Copies of this chain bind each other. A is one copy, B any other.
Amino acid sequence: MNPSARLKPIGVFDSGIGGLTVLHELMRLLPRESTVYFGDTARVQYGNKSETTVQRFALEAAQLLMQHGIKFLVLACNTVSATSLTLLRQRLPVPVVGVIEPGAQAAAARSRGGHIGVIGTAATVESGAYQKAIAAWRPEANVVARACPLFVPLVEEGWTRHQVAEEVARIYLSPLKAEGVDTLVLGCTHYPLLADILSLVMGPEVNLINSASEVARVVRDELERRDLLGQASRPTHRVLVSDGPERFSRVARNFMGEDLGPVELVAVPAAAAVG
């Protein structure tokens, strides 16, 4: 492997701000890797859109990140992973990892009784991607999935420890509690910020699976396996958005409790038709 390839950045893509939880875990586990994050804030949110539209947006985002010379692409968005992973693997010359397989594998491995709950956006839940991925690792597992459309706006409002969020969580999670799930997959990159409330509602005996930390481990293993691990002494971190860089910086500060540095505004290139 050409050593310069190892110094190229890892691309991280989300429809908006949620993927910062994945970026955060990547930077923690792989402190010598450079990164380029793209949040498609002009067209966020993806969670209620059709598969075809999400695939088109994902292809355009991947092209943008390829123009920034990435060596590896992380789909830090459950909706994109559920709908577009296979397509992007076919189309891109770099390895692509999504958040669903790592989360599904961890859930299958850690569930005691095989009763697994999955929560996510409508698009993620309706795609059945978690259900399929968990079945591949643990065919006898009983998987119950539930869309939780209010969780993303609650997190973006900053109400992550708010009484309203707890009440909404009790409503959304009650069918999963009734099914007796022992493991709950947080199938949306915003949800780790609600972990305290989700854990309170589900009870201490239920495992919460945070895909963000799972995916960081998978990225590290894949980079190692392909001899692509970076060893930059001064890694760089760029953040690109398709709309509202100031707003993104502000929400990111509330969201992650840390400063991102400069956020750059970019235009999304039009992709070739998805076929």
Contact = CB atoms under 8 A, between A and B. Distances in A.
Interface of A: 41-45, 48-50, 53, 149-150, 152-154, 156-157, 163-164, 167-168, 171, 242-244, 247
A43 B45 contact: no
B49 A244 contact: yes
A244 B50 contact: yes
28 contacts: A42-B43, A42-B49, A42-B53, A43-B43, A44-B48, A45-B45, A48-B244, A48-B247, A49-B244, A50-B243, A50-B247, A53-B243, A53-B244, A149-B153, A149-B156, A149-B157, A150-B150, A150-B153, A150-B154, A150-B157, A152-B153, A153-B153, A163-B167, A164-B164, A164-B167, A164-B168, A164-B171, A167-B167
A152 B48 CA distance: 13
A49 B171 contact: no
A246 to B, nearest CB: 9
A53, A153, A154, A164: most-surrounded residue (chain B CB, <10 A) = A153
Contacts of A41: 49
Nearest to A147: B157
A184 to B, nearest CB: 20
A127 to B, nearest CB: 13
Given A164-B171, A167-B164, A168-B164, A243 B149 contact: no
A197 to B, nearest CB: 14
Nearest to A43: B43
A150 B156 CA distance: 9
Contacts of A149: 153, 156-157
A267 B107 CA distance: 40
A20 to B, nearest CB: 16
A57 B171 CA distance: 36
Nearest to A245: B50
B167 A243 contact: no
A121 to B, nearest CB: 11
A153 B44 CA distance: 14
Given A41-B49, A50-B244, 18 more contacts: A42-B43, A42-B53, A43-B43, A44-B48, A48-B247, A49-B244, A53-B242, A149-B153, A149-B156, A150-B150, A150-B153, A150-B154, A150-B157, A152-B153, A153-B153, A163-B167, A164-B164, A164-B171
